Amino acid sequence: SLENFREKQLKLESDKVKESLSLLRNQVSNTSYPFIGPSESKIILIEFVDYNCGYCKRTMEAVFKLSEEMPNVKIIFRDFPILSDSSETAALAALAADKQGKYIKFHSALLNYRGNISEELIFSTAKNLGIDIELLKKDMSSKEIKNKLSNTLDIAQKLNIRGTPTFIIGDKVKPGAFDLDALKSMI
């Protein structure tokens, strides 16, 4: 009887997430967020990522390899800072770097860093990538960038996303670090 109750609860939660995802489809796959792949692709994979997440760091290579091997897939990155204050600073900086056309390079550099991300590392990485630091800091505090981050946090709450990385494909929300084959099988 406990097992039946548990299965019913999981089904209800799954149905609720599907319904929420259906209602939020346009917000979740909004192309004003950084992405790789063709902008008009009908195949969309969304990744929620935190720059201090060790699993996100391990998954990054598989995500970029997927883009190479399946160039018809659009992969949207949703910065979801949940692990620390520096995660939020990194997310704001990444979204601001996108305004300078440097999101992917900045995203990759932060995820390639082994260890916790600090504010000093964020700005030294940006400088090394040729990002205008003064403009970056101004954009980080802009309403536009803060709204983008707030929107992601709101969507994550509505979809019951609690960790990173989490992927969305179609009507499925898949938490966890996946290798290339697992990502391909999702698609």
Q: Residues in the chain, how many?
A: 187
What percent helix, strand, coil does the chain show, rounded to 5?
60, 15, 30
Give the model confidence (pLDDT) of 149-179 as tens digits: 999 998 898 888 899 999 988 878 899 999 9
* Buried b or exposed e, range 34-57, using 16+ CB within 10 angstroms: bbbbeeeeeebbbbbbbbbbebbb
- pLDDT band, very low/low/confident/very high, at 29 (cuts 50, 70, 90): low
- pLDDT band, very low/low/confident/very high, at 109 (cuts 50, 70, 90): very high
Please give the model's pTM, rounded to 2 decimal places.
Answer: 0.85
Angle, helices 103-112 vs 54-69, to 10°: value is 130
